[in-house]
Each structure stands twice: as C-alpha cells, then as structure tokens.
Homo-oligomer: A and B are copies of this chain.
Amino acid sequence: MTFLQGLLSSISTRTRLLGNASNAVQGSDAHLHALASACETLMQRGGEASQIMTAQRALTHYQQLEPEERQAFFKLLADEYAAEPQAIHAAYQAYCESEDNAALEKLFNACEPRRQDLLRRLNLCPGGTFELVKMRADLLKQLRHAPDLAALNSDFSHLFNSWFNRGFLVLESIDWNTPAAVLEKLIQYEAVHAISDWRDLRRRLDPEDRRCYAFFHPATGDEPLIFVEVALCKGIPDNVQRILEHGEEVPMDEADTAVFYSISNCQAGLKGVSFGNFLIKQVVQELSRELPQLKNFVTLSPVPGFADWLAEQRTSQSVTLSQPLQTFLESGESSGLPAAVHKEFMRLAAHYLVEAKHRSGQPLNPVARFHLGNGASLHRLNWLGDISSKGMQQAHGLMVNYLYQLDRIEQNHEAYTRNYSVVCANDIRRLAGQADQYFSTEANA
C-alpha cells in the first residue's frame, strides 16, 4: 500500500473502530454513571496514560444512553464542568492591576469552561469527532426545552468553528465512481429536491453535464458535511423539473452555464459552522478552471415561505388580489391564466424578495439571505419553476436564480452587509416597485 493510500485507509476505517467497540458494552441503566465517571477520569492528571481508551469508553457509554439520560448528561456538563468562580475572581483582580497580556492569559484560562477541555479530550479517540458532532445534534434537539443548556451549545459551537475551519476541509467531486457507502448518504441528506432512488441518484451524478461537490473533514472520513448538485446547461434554466428529469445531455462545448440547483447541509450537529459560502465559491473556481467556456454561475433556488407570507398578507387584508390570481393561488391551476395575472404574481414575488424584511432589516426569505450574504445578486424570477407539490405548496411554483459573478461578489457582499439592501436585476426592482398598488398599507413582517 502506498503512503497516501495508507493515510486514507486509516481515515476511512475510523468510524468502524468505535462502532465495534460499542458492542462490548452491555446493560443500560449503568451507562450514565459510567460515562460520568469516565469523564472525571479523563480530566484527571493521573489518567493521561490511557486517555484514548477512556475517551472511547466514555463515548461508547454515551451511545447507549436514552434521550432523558442524555439530557441528564448535558445538565451534568452544564453544572459541573463550568469554571471555578474563585479562580475567576482571583484572576480578574490580578488583571485589573496590570491589564497586560500575561494577566489576560490567566484570566482567559480561568474563564474557559472545563467543558471545552473535556470535549477536546473526548476527541482523542478514533471516530471521536463524529460522535461529538452527533452529540451536539442531540443537544440541539433538547435546547428549546432546556434553555439552560445554551452555554454548553456555545462551547460546542466554539470548538467546532475551530475544528471545522475551512483550512481543514477537503472539497471532493462526487460521481458514479464514488463508493456506494458515500452515495447512499447523499440520498439520505438531500434536503431540497428529494432523491427517490438509486436511478434518480445516478441521473444526477453520472451524465457528463451533471456534477456534484461536497466538503469532507478528514476526521469524519466519508461523512459529507455539505454538498451541492450542479447542472451544466445552455442558457440559464427556469425550471427544475427539466433538470431533474434530465432528458438529452448537453454537449460540453455548448454548455455556458453552471446551475447550482440543490445545496444540502448534512450534519445537524454542525449548525452555525458556515460551509455553503466557501463551497459555492470554490466550486465556481473549479468549474471555471475545468470548463473555461462557462459564462454564468447561477442557482435555481426555491422560495420557501413565499406562500405563507402571501397567505398572511391576504388574511390581514393588507393586500388586494385579482380574482383570477386568487383562484390560481388556491387551486394551483395555471392553464389559461391571462398574462395580467402572471404579471401580478411576479410583482408580488419581487416585492416579497426585495422589500419584505425582518425587524433586523434582513430579507424575510432565508434562501435570499444566504445567497445575498454570499455576495450573489437576485437575477431572475421563474414562473412555475418548480411544479412539484412541495414547490407549489411553499411558493406557488416560484423559483429564483441568484447570480454569482466572481468580480462582483465582494462589492455585492459589502452592499448587503452595510444595510441589507438587496442587489438585484433592474427589472426585478421595477417589478417590486409596481407591487405597491396591491398593498393597502406598506406591509412588513
């Protein structure tokens, strides 16, 4: 086996190691105590010689816990693995005298919750990182009912932002030659346009005009963190069903547009660690290098929340719609609709995306926030771009193209962060302006 092959094979077998170990553990009600005791051992000075085994034992016990036991464990971390108030007071007094770096360092150390050190030590064992990611996913589920765990959540977040730093991530191209063990995870994690089976998966990966990229982290092996599906097209597409059905393959020398039509985060436990931003930009770079003929890099994005927002406007009577449009919104029946209705709908859509804002000043629509925050611009609205039941339900079929222009990204991003103004194509801005006529008073969410 060659040098680098060895490197990989050890990476990819890590998760298994832990899995097997877990079989050895039996009996369940003692796991919480055993876990608590293993954590204590792990933090002791004398236990260093067998830290890896202790960490592995701890995580194996954790796996066996029932949900309520997990909550008890999280409470234990929150209560017993905070910091020593006395040590903090003393360090603060010392800091006040000098306010220098040496005193700051001591104060920082005194303030660091012991939980962070514990998590670092649990991470010593093979497969530990992925177990900790799953542990945080458990925590997030309990968070809304147990707000006192928020600080523990911040500890995880602090560590994961350091560990899953962009510099440690690896971009991988995924295709039909990828191991099945990875591919089945795409089916599982796809969050935008569900993959129905292996044939559907193959349609998205195997044709020459289809690409897929994912970020991986060496310590979590073949578990994808986020992935994006790309279609290479001639012109900017306005409809996602045509992409998903994949009729005729576009010859590579005719393709001028790369469309990001699905982006899915895979690990609930990594919430708050931002990958999507970096992923899209790096994929744009990769594709530009490989296929210099590509001119446009766009998304074909859903508009979740649009239907709900419109329903609210109607309920609160802040908007007045034509009868045919109301009929369409209620029935979804689009054949035979007059052009005026189409226009009315598009104005409302433009208004929603450009004008409808949160109290924070940010756009209401979460997908818009993501892409505009990345420096993309709102490029085009697509009538009946997604006629699946999900697409009709969440946005009456509306889809949107966001445009990524490498030489505009920074300035777009700055414009957006300055005052959350939506960078968009002129005709969309015009449409948004024309929507005023439908609103009794200016509607803001």
Per-residue CB proximity of A135-177 to B under 8 Å, as 1/0?
0000000000000101110110001011101111011111011
Known contacts A8-B8, A111-B104, A111-B107; A49/B129 CB under 8 A? no
**Is A370 an interface residue, CB under 8 A from the partner?**
no
A245 CB to nearest B CB, Å: 20
Interface of A is mostly: helix
Q: Which of A1, A154, A167, A277 has the most CB of B within 10 A?
A: A167
Q: Which residues, 218 to 266 on A, are CB-close (under 8 Å) to B?
A: 218-219, 222
Q: Pick the contact of A177: B105, B179, B414 (CB < 8 A).
A: B179
Q: Which residues, 48 to 80 on A, are CB-close (under 8 Å) to B?
A: 48-52, 78
Known contacts A167-B125, A218-B170, A413-B46; A85/B105 CB under 8 A? no
**Is A124 an interface residue, CB under 8 A from the partner?**
yes
Chain B positions within 8 Å of A120 at CB level: 161-162, 165
Chain B positions within 8 Å of A444 at CB level: none
Per-residue CB proximity of A119-139 to B under 8 Å, as 1/0?
010011110110000000000
B99 touches A85 (CB 8 A): yes
Q: What is the total number of residues of chain A having a CB less than 8 Å from a CB of chain B?
A: 93
A358 CB to nearest B CB, Å: 18
B111 touches A83 (CB 8 A): no
Known contacts A3-B2, A104-B111, A129-B168; A176/B173 CB under 8 A? no
A108 touches B111 (CB 8 A): yes
**Is A178 an interface residue, CB under 8 A from the partner?**
yes
**Is A437 an interface residue, CB under 8 A from the partner?**
no
Q: Pick the contact of A102: B150, B155, B198 (CB < 8 A).
A: B150
State which of A180-188, A319-327, A332-340, A388-396 sits at the interface with chain B.
A180-188
A353 CB to nearest B CB, Å: 20
Chain B positions within 8 Å of A78 at CB level: 101
B82 touches A101 (CB 8 A): yes
Known contacts A2-B8, A88-B107, A163-B162; A151/B101 CB under 8 A? yes
Chain B positions within 8 Å of A277 at CB level: 48-49
Chain B positions within 8 Å of A219 at CB level: 167-168, 218
**Is A5 an interface residue, CB under 8 A from the partner?**
yes
B102 touches A177 (CB 8 A): no
Known contacts A83-B104, A161-B120; A2/B170 CB under 8 A? no
B170 touches A105 (CB 8 A): no
B170 touches A10 (CB 8 A): yes
B108 touches A113 (CB 8 A): yes
A107 CB to nearest B CB, Å: 5
**Is A195 an interface residue, CB under 8 A from the partner?**
no
Known contacts A10-B170, A176-B179, A218-B218; A413/B49 CB under 8 A? yes
Minimal Cβ-Cβ distance residue in B for A374:
B49
Chain B positions within 8 Å of A129 at CB level: 167-168
